[in-house]
Amino acid sequence: MAAAQSLGLLNPKSICSTACILAFGLLATAQSLHETAEWFGLALCSALAALLLIVGARARLTVRGQRLDVGALPYRKRVTLADLHLSAVRRLEPEDPFRLRWRLNGIGLPGMCLGRFSTNTGRPVFAAVAGRRHRVLIPTRLDFDILVTVADPDALVRALKEGSPQQCGTPGA
């Protein structure tokens, strides 16, 4: 039985960030759309905005059998539950000092951080977060930890510690 929940990456902040990318592309090309290169730039900018919206909408945390899937293509991680330190899974409060630092590979926009990031602790994480609220840190035995946002972080922590994943809902914006 699979338990899947949205990671809330498609939210007002990420939509606004994506709209700004598209608006800057429109502004940059508005005065010279008669040239083929400008149309190509506008098409590329539009494709990027569409990709960001699709990735944000499809980002999920899913537990199937003994495997945890986090993220959405092209930024997704699959780890076995045996690779997780389930007893150390914890909810991070907004004032918790744990912070993402540099994006190593992924998307880093207001309201949408997806991919591999460095942290202030020195240990990299695969992050799929929509902000500072509702975060859950999932330590692994691998060379990275996992940081996610879900609507009910306490339920996710409980479910992972008990080994019986359940639906945790969609986080609010």
Q: Which residue segment(s) compose the domain that 148 sits in? A: 1-173
CA distance 18 to 77: 23
3-state secondary structure of 61: strand
Q: Which of 5-9, 58-62, 109-113, 168-172 has the lowest mean pLDDT?
A: 168-172
What is the number of domains present in the chain? 1
**Per-residue pLDDT reduced to its tens digit, 34-91:** 666 677 777 888 888 898 999 989 899 988 878 889 988 889 999 998 999 988 899 9
What predicted TM-score, i.e. pTM, was given to this entire model?
Answer: 0.83
Selection from 124, 133, 3, 126 nearest residue 61 by Cα: 3
* Per-residue b or e along 97-114, where b marks 16 or more CB atoms closer than 10 Å to that residue's CB: ebebeebeebbebebbbb
The three-class DSSP label of residue 129 is strand
Helices 12-29 + 36-58 axis angle, to 10 = 180
